[in-house]
Every structure is written in C-alpha cells, then in structure tokens.
Amino acid sequence: MKVVDMHCDTISELFYRMEDGKEHSVWKNDCHVDLERMEKGDYCLQNFAMFTSLDRYEKPFEHCMKLVDLFYQELEEHGDRIGIVKTYEDIEENRRLGKMSALLTIEEGGVCQGEIAFLRNFYRLGVRMMTLTWNFRNELGWPNIIRIEGDEAYFEPDTEHGLTETGIEFVREMERLGMIMDVSHLSDAGIMDVFRYTKKPFVASHSNARTVASNPRNLTDEMLKMLSERGGVAGINYCADFLHDWQRGEHAVSRVDDMILHMKHMKKIGGIQCIGLGSDFDGIGGELEIKSPEDLPVLEQAMRRAGFTEEEIEGVFYKNVLRVYKEILK
C-alpha cells in the first residue's frame, strides 16, 4: 500500500545530531525515519518539516535556513531514490520513474518574523506547506497551547485568540502562492479565522479528533466538518498523548487500536475523504506500536479488520492527501 505522510521532524533531528558531531544521514539512521525504511514501507511521499523552536534559537529565520540547506544536501545526495517536489506534476513524474517524493514544509510560522517577503522567499526555495504556529505565540497568531514559563514550565490551552492582522495577510498570500496552510498547533479561534479568510483546502497535518482524545491539539467536530467541507485533510498523529486520554502516572502507549477509533469518528463527522496520515515521527517519543515507516502494514491490516474498505484504506494512506496536493501545488 502506498503511503503519504504529511509530517515528520526528521531533518530537525538530524540537524541536532550534526550540531553534536554525530552521524546524520537521511539514508540510514536510528531515527524513526530514513529513506531505506521508507522504501521498505512503500512510501510515495514524505513531508519533511523544518521545525524551529522559538525558545531555542535567537535567530529563528537563520536556523530555518540552515535546516533547508540540510534538507537539500541530504535529499539531493539520494536523488536516484527520492525526488524533491514543488508541484503535483513533480510527484507524478517521480512515480513514473519509480522514485519516492520529498515535500519541504515549515513547522513554526514565526521563522518568517512577520515579514511577508520571507514567506515568498521560502516559497521560492521550495517550501510548499507551513504550520502557522507551534507552541508559542508569534507574529501570525496564537497556538492552541501556550507554554507558561517558571520554575516548572507547563502548557495551558488557548482557544480564544486567533490570527493577527499579519496572520490574515499571510494566509491570503499563501493561498495566492499555492502554499498549503497547516492549522495543526493553531488555536481554535485561529482555525476559524483560516476558514473565514481563505477559500481553498487547508490541512491539519498531524492532528486527531478531540472528541476521542480531549487534548486541545486535536480538532473539534466542528473543525472536522469545516475542514471536510473545504476539501482538506487531517493527518492521524501517532503520538500517544493525542490518541488517548491518559491519566497521570499511566504508561502511555501509541496504539493502533486508538488510531482506528479516531478514524472511525472522523469518518462519521467529516467523511473518509478528510483523513490522512501525519505520523509526527522524530517529533514524538514514548512507546510506539508503529515505530517506523516499515510498520505501516500493521495499520493497514487493522483498518481492514475494523471494516474499512480497500478504497477507504487507499484514501487514508495516500489518495486523500494527493487530492489536496493536486488542487494546490500547481
């Protein structure tokens, strides 16, 4: 079964290793994702996110540029196995050549520092999707959880604050350019703003259903309906915290059975066409039932046992996301 995964943090993880003087090959490593295991998992396309934590780097734009450089260095070295894509036609061409595809994305719109020119230049560099916020307020808007600093830092939900005026300008420009808007991590009000101020499909690249697991990172039923009506897709996140409401002290495990529960609910609310995959590999920890790309057949078999049809499984695994890419990535 072909696979399209809308989110992994592998390039950022490799960058940390490079900073520490460690091996950092995208072909074979001990991260969750490498190209060798992607091939074994029959991957069609992987989104590689350039993730920048605003509290870790004083110059987030410069850091993101370094990540983009590493992305091109690593992926171009293996151009015979995987091709970097900017348009849907690039994806189709790679499929004809028997190669996988890599899509460059940004996780944390704060790297643009509110400068629309930076956004346009990232587009020129090949960025085709951007997560508007991460866990910090930035020039574009508010995330759905805010990190509260102190002796013991903690996160608090924020569902009320939405996009700023700059954020509204950004999403309109992203739509004009043909850069996919990613609302994972964005506040509830911010997601409503994206729906209000844009017209084309958008995605939640790595978010589940809040009715099934109440974490504010997940999407409400209303959001799922809006996303589906717009023709967008939400990618199932493999992180245990977004799959199940664990009690403090419980041993959290990312389980395929919980993924199935989310899929069933999302299908009921928005239809099968609004579901994709967004593993969050190399951005999540803990015990995982699906540990790497080559384990995806476990999910495929579980979906079949749960009563999903072959057409529905194909939709979730790759066709639904490719439908969005075909519409936007011209």
β-strand partners of 34: none
Helix axes 10-19, 60-76, angle to 10 degrees: 100
The number of beta carbons lying within 10 Å of the beta carbon of residue 86 is: 18
pLDDT digits (tens, 9 = 90+) for 47-80: 999 999 999 999 999 999 999 999 999 999 999 9
Q: How much is the average pLDDT of 31-52?
A: 99
| Residue 132 neighbours by CB distance under 10 Å | 32
Arithmetic mean of pLDDT, 234-253: 93
Q: Which token pair is 215?
A: 């974490």
| pLDDT tier at 149, thresholds 50, 70, 90 | confident
Q: Are 190 and 198 in contact (CB under 8 A)?
A: no
Q: What mean pLDDT, rounded, does the chain reach? A: 97
For residues 90-102, give the mean pLDDT: 99
Q: Which helix (H) or strand (E) holds 85?
A: strand 82-85
- Looking at residue 34, its pLDDT comes to 98
- Give the pLDDT confidence score for residue 163 in this predicted structure: 99
Gap between the Cα atoms of 3 and 47, Å rounded: 11
Supply the pLDDT for residue 255: 98
Cβ atoms 277, 207 nearer than 8 A: no
Residue type, 105: T
Segment 154-184, tens digit of pLDDT: 778 877 899 999 999 999 999 999 999 999 9
**One CATH from 3.40.50.740, 3.80.30.20, 3.90.1300.10, 3.20.20.140 for 3-130+202-328:** 3.20.20.140
Beta bridge partners, 247, equal: none
268: Cβ contacts below 8 Å, ≥ 6 apart: none
Closest by Cα among 202, 207, 144, 143 to 172: 202
- The yes-or-no verdict on residue 136 having pLDDT over 80 is yes
- pLDDT at res. 179: 99
Partnered with residue 37 across adjacent β-strands are none
